[in-house]
Amino acid sequence: MDYKSEIRKITTAEFFPAVVRMKAENWRLSQICAVSVEHGYEMSYSFCLDKEYRMVTLRLEIGEDEIVASITQIYPCAFIQENEAAELFGVKIEHIDPDYGDRLYRIDEATPFKKKE
Amino acid sequence: MAKRSIVPFGPQHPVLPEPVHLDLILEDETVVGAVPSIGFIHRGLEKLVEKRDFKQYVYIAERVCGICSCGHGLGYCEAVEQVMGIEVPDRARYLRTIWVEMSRVHSHLLWLGLLADAMGFESLYMESWRLREKILDMFDETTGGRIIHSVNCVGGVQKDMDSTMLQHILQAIDDIRGEMKPVVETFMQDYTVQSRLKGSGILTKEDATALGAAGPVLRASGISYDARRLGYAAYGDLTMEPITAAEGDSYARCKVRLKELFQSFDLIREAIGKIPDGPISVPVKGNPSGEFFMRIEQPRGEAIYYVKGSGTKYLDRFRMRTPTTSNIPALVEMLKGCQLADVPLLILTIDPCVSCTER
């Protein structure tokens, strides 16, 4: 069994249909990771297919002010990790359900993980 | 008509060793919804990776949590080793496996004690923690630390065990196994335990997948997924099948963990039987450049370690997705339909680790 994860780069337009397809194929959402890069963010959404132990990561590159749609309508369990990405990195994610409005973590500094100029 | 009210649960509560909060929406005494809140002790340890060199960061990863310390060190090191293409010596792979399985026993016994205590089963609580002390003593003897072991390093492990020590571990786990059997049987056959756990907090197979559950919570709903089967450390050389249950209730989650205790003993025994001689680490040259998602099976479930480096001694990003983060949405689902009095026990059946979640 190979524990390497396949990373598929996708565009914003392909993102939502790709997540819907993962759900339809019974992939389990295993993690969401935000990374601050120059001029924006890299968002990684990893999914596992438990029977085959496969892991696929959808990689979305977005600009700093670009808005990304929440996937909580498809995977309700994404709410903690999406709130975390929004609060720590400042990723603009719309329609998270529930949206903690930057109060998931009780921290003093706004977007502490965001790349500083 | 049922009266609707909201009852705050936590962040400080007798069954919660760490702070987490739930707003429980009740209709009379029945829970119909719950809104979780975390973040009371968030430490931002992932961010420190930008200020500590990738070899030093092992010490931070190990200190994310006292229970999962050895696994966090292992997950981080394996992720960096994958990025750098480092092949760890076989002896180091086996030593890592022995220590993380000892950690699993330690974690599951700690959980059993907490659950027993929450039910008022004090003798069982003391008995499980007495047995856990023996595991901690073994950690002390083999690593020099009872809680934080600092054995993993990028490229292998820092400490070895000689054959006398390995034989001592074999003897000790046989003794603990013998003492644990009646404890487990007593727990599983107890009328009160069964009446409080059977049929409560049911998580169906479909919900477990849809809600991204991990570890014993996932397996107790009938899904045969255990990241150890991926073969990291020495697991690829050892015999193991995921332990599952079909019922998906609180009792099933306990049953899976208790069976895993004995599975861990078998794995330790097999690893000690097969451990080869040789070096325990290799020199590490250069800096990590690239990225990797590493999956390992912590006692509470699958944990994911992501590292990204760009050729300097500081990593650009380290991300740790711990099993409790994955199990909170499942917990919210399990709570629906239960009685208010059952909430503390239901929370304990996911074996939450807030320290990991608030890394």
pLDDT tens string B42-84? 888 878 888 889 999 999 898 888 888 889 999 999 999 999 9
Rounded Cα distance, A65 and B145, in Å: 47
Judged by a CB distance cut-off of 8 A, whether residue A76 touches chain B is yes
Instruction: Give chain A positions within 8 Å (CB) of B46.
Output: 113
CB contact under 8 A, A50 and B230: no
Interface-testing mutation among B217, B321, B357, B358, with chain A (most A C-beta atoms within 10 A): B321
Nearest-Cα distance to chain A for B41, in Å, is: 8
Note the pLDDT tens digit of each residue in B327-359: 999 999 999 999 999 999 999 998 888 778 788
B27 contacts B2 by C-beta, under 8 angstroms:
yes
Note the pLDDT tens digit of each residue in A57-93: 999 999 988 999 999 999 999 998 999 999 888 999 9
| Separation in Å, CA A86 to CA A37, A92, B239 | 15, 6, 42
User: What integer pLDDT is reported at residue A112 of this predicted model?
Assistant: 83
How many A/B residue pairs have CB atoms within 8 Å? 105
User: What integer pLDDT is reported at residue A1 of this predicted model?
Assistant: 60
Q: Closest chain B residue to A54 measured between Cα atoms?
A: B230
Helix count (H) and strand count (E) of chain B? 12, 8
User: Confidence band (pLDDT; 50, 70, 90) for A2?
Assistant: low
Note the pLDDT tens digit of each residue in B244-287: 999 999 999 999 999 999 999 999 999 999 999 999 999 999 99
Instruction: Give chain B positions within 8 Å (CB) of A48.
Output: 225, 302
For residue A38, give every residue at least 6 positions away whose Cβ sits within 8 Å of its Cβ, in sequence order, or none: A115
Of the listed ranges B1-5, B139-143, B323-327, the least confidently predicted one is B1-5
Instruction: Give me chain B's average pLDDT, please.
Output: 91
User: What integer pLDDT is reported at residue B65 of this predicted model?
Assistant: 85
User: What integer pLDDT is reported at residue B12 of this predicted model?
Assistant: 86
The domain made up of B44-326 is a member of CATH 3.40.630.10: no
In the DSSP assignment, the letter for residue B300 is T
**Average confidence (pLDDT) over B3-31:** 88
User: What integer pLDDT is reported at residue A117 of this predicted model?
Assistant: 64
User: What integer pLDDT is reported at residue B197 of this predicted model?
Assistant: 92
Rounded Cα distance, B212 and A34, in Å: 18
Note the pLDDT tens digit of each residue in B186-202: 889 999 999 999 999 99
Q: Which of A50, A78, A80 sits opposite B223 (nearest CB)?
A: A50
Rounded Cα distance, B89 and B308, in Å: 24
Domain boundary assignment for chain B: 44-326
Domain boundary assignment for chain A: 6-94
Superfamily holding A6-94: NADH:ubiquinone oxidoreductase Nqo5 subunit (3.30.460.80)
Q: What is the ipTM of this complex?
A: 0.92
